[in-house]
A and B are shown apart, each in its own frame.
Chain A
Amino acid sequence: MKLSYQIKKDWKRNRSLYFIMIPVLIFYILFHYKPMYGAIIAFKEYSPALGVTGSPWVGFANFTRFFKSVYFIRLIRNTILLSVYNLILGFPAPIILALLLNEVRNKKFKSITQTVTYLPHFISLIVVTGMLTDFSMTTGLFNDVITMFGGKSSPLLQDPKLYRSIYVLSSIWQEVGWGSIIYLSALAGVDSQLYEAAQIDGAGKWKQLIHVTLPAIAPVIVIMFILKMGSLMNMGYEKTILLYNPSTYETADIISSYIYRIGLLEQDWSYSTAIGLFNSAINFGLLLFTNRMSKRYSETSLW
């Protein structure tokens, strides 16, 4: 009785508010939850004629097909390696840049550096990868620089060994400045009295960094790290699709780009959905895991 009374009271009070939410709810149902429901074709043999509900169930057949596939190990390895490489180099880079910028006393120089390092973020991915492709050709800019230093020119993007480095370094180039903003704002919020107190205690710059600055911005770092971990297996397919080619598949092909080829290009709907679902589940698990670890050890968490 009590609950229904509460609902009635809430409805009376907030009815018009719920009406406002209707279009938003429809949006989420139609473009988020309906596809989530559609993902059950991972357990079916989907045929467009029969539709999602009408297609016959096949249990875990699509999953076992993936686990037994020759590509399975390669895809998992490539995804993890690219991610980890990206995390190890790409995660600290904006933090370091923010710390360095924070030490710049010349305001004008600081703002110029910020504006210029943000710039690559505004160049579209298509253009960035287009530039990379051109620069990597035997006559391109990268090879010109390599030969300048006495190296031999080669088609860099055809080399599976170089692929990950090109991918990760260009991502850092594009995002390091932009990524530093959030840390800069955290740094701006550090109480200057803490530094003064540290100085009186005889702490040099390095000691101040370790004992004042880093602890102060640690919560932001942790949150960003959790978010990054949550997308560890979720490496963006867009850049991969633009940058790889059959000669670099060996190191370049990741789960999401494989889903794209098998699903959208070869139209093996159920199989590609199963791979996607497997990937999503692992991702979600990683996020929960990191969040839990973080809650336990640093008392910072997403929720």
Chain B
Amino acid sequence: MKVKKSKGERAFSVFNYIFLTLLIVLCLYPVWYVAVASFSNSNLLTQHTGLLIKPVGWSIDAYKKVFKNPMIGRGYLNTLFILVVGVFLDLIMTSLGAYFLSRKRVMFKRPIMLLIVFTMFFSGGMIPFYLNLKDLRMTNSLWGLIVPFMISTYNLIILRTSFESIPESLIEAAQIDGASHITILMQIVIPLSKAILAVMVLYYGVSIWNSWFWASAIIRTREMYPLQVILREILMQNDVSSMTAGSSALDTEAIGMTIKYATIIVATVPILCVYPFLQKHFTKGTMIGAVKE
């Protein structure tokens, strides 16, 4: 049924569109600014004031310097390693846990579930966690960035909720045929859960991609730094020295700026290119997560 809009509703509608358009600009502009600035001439950029719409004086010098920096490639490789190995192990461990927790008529399921959920709300804190890693000899190794973070309890619960929706009759039938739990998990449950597992890949992937804190806390060897830690050095600690060698002090400061922007673009564009295609899956995961247990 269609009701004619009142004057107030039309006014609201106009306001709504204007507001949301402003929001779009607000979300996009900072990224656009960085992109445009990274292609600008560094000296002209420092003199420039006001908003940037297009590059001031076209230049790709900054990118040449960024790509010449071996640490960025190194960081990408380290992150890629943690990403591939990490996501794989994360998926295995989370599936095992989720499968167990999704089974019915298991005596110790509830206490185990409580034990797991409790960790979401209470923890020993940063320092005991760090000392524990030291104790387990996991510092200064990429494994120390993978193994201690294999299961996110939040993801485990999402996956469990999804596994629970698989018809019990399917699993019972397989059990009658003599299939073991591992077989049922690998051959029935996982193939039926491809969509949610894709969501898990994305969730774990993004969190690994973004993580930097523990890497900066436990990795001492520079060659093992993941990309985000390298980025931190360049962006926050202004360490562009390795890329500005041979320039005068004033030039260094100017080009330092464009190098930073170019670094941001190099480190962000891959994710920004993929994400619109993956957005649908992300959204789905959030919705499953919202379903109350």
Contact = CB atoms under 8 A, between A and B. Distances in A.
Interface of A: 6-7, 10, 13-14, 16-18, 20-21, 23-25, 27-28, 30-39, 41, 52, 97, 100-101, 103-104, 109, 112-120, 122-127, 129-131, 133-135, 139, 141, 144-145, 147-148, 173, 177, 181-182, 185-186, 196, 199, 204-205, 219-220, 223, 230, 237-238, 241-242, 256, 259-260, 263-264, 269, 272-273, 276-277, 279-280, 283-284, 287
Given A199-B1, A264-B126, A276-B125, A7 B107 contact: yes
Given A28-B119, A141-B30, A181-B283, 14 more contacts: A25-B112, A27-B150, A31-B129, A36-B128, A113-B24, A116-B27, A119-B27, A123-B31, A126-B231, A130-B232, A141-B52, A269-B131, A273-B125, A277-B124
Interface stretch (B11-19, B59-67, B192-200, B240-248): B11-19
B31 A119 contact: yes
A14 B107 contact: yes
Interface in B178-222: 180-182, 185, 206, 209-210, 212-213, 217
A125 B96 CA distance: 31
B27 to A, nearest CB: 5
Nearest to B285: A181
Interface of B: 1, 3, 6, 8-9, 12-13, 16-17, 19-20, 23-24, 26-28, 30-31, 33-34, 46, 49-52, 93, 96-97, 99-100, 103, 105-108, 112, 115-116, 119, 121-132, 136, 147-148, 150-151, 180-182, 185, 206, 209-210, 212-213, 217, 228, 231-232, 235-236, 257, 260-261, 264, 267-268, 271-272, 275-276, 279, 282-283, 286-287, 289-290, 292
Highest count of chain B CB atoms <10 Å: which of A39, A117, A124, A177: A124
Nearest to B185: A20
A122 B236 contact: no
Given A16-B181, A35-B132, A260-B126, A134 B121 contact: no
Contacts of B257: 134
A21 B50 contact: no
B125 A39 contact: yes
Contacts of A186: 290
Contacts of A256: 126
A135 B257 CA distance: 11
Contacts of A269: 127, 131
Nearest to A153: B49
Contacts, number: 248
16 contacts: A17-B106, A20-B181, A35-B128, A39-B125, A112-B24, A116-B24, A123-B31, A123-B271, A131-B34, A144-B50, A181-B287, A205-B8, A223-B292, A263-B126, A273-B124, A276-B126
B213 A104 contact: no
Contacts of A16: 180-182
A125 B236 contact: no
B93 A124 contact: no
A277 B128 CA distance: 10
A89 B256 CA distance: 35
Contacts of A34: 132
B124 A113 contact: no
**A contact patch SS:** helix
B99 A20 contact: yes
A205 B13 CA distance: 11
B129 A35 contact: yes
A298 to B, nearest CB: 13
Please name the 4 residue pairs, one residue from A and one from B, whose CB atoms are nearest each other, closest first: A276-B125, A130-B235, A35-B124, A38-B128
B279 to A, nearest CB: 6
Contact of A119 (B28, B150, B235): B28
A37 B124 contact: yes
Contacts of B213: 237-238, 241
B236 A100 contact: no
Contacts of B24: 112-113, 116-117
A126 B106 contact: no
A133 B34 CA distance: 13
A144 B30 CA distance: 13
B97 A21 contact: yes
A124 B210 contact: yes
Contacts of B106: 10, 14, 17
A80 B16 CA distance: 33
A275 B11 CA distance: 53
Contacts of B283: 181, 185
Contacts of A205: 8-9, 12
B27 A177 contact: yes
Contact of B126 (A6, A30, A259): A259
A264 B181 CA distance: 43
A115 B276 contact: yes
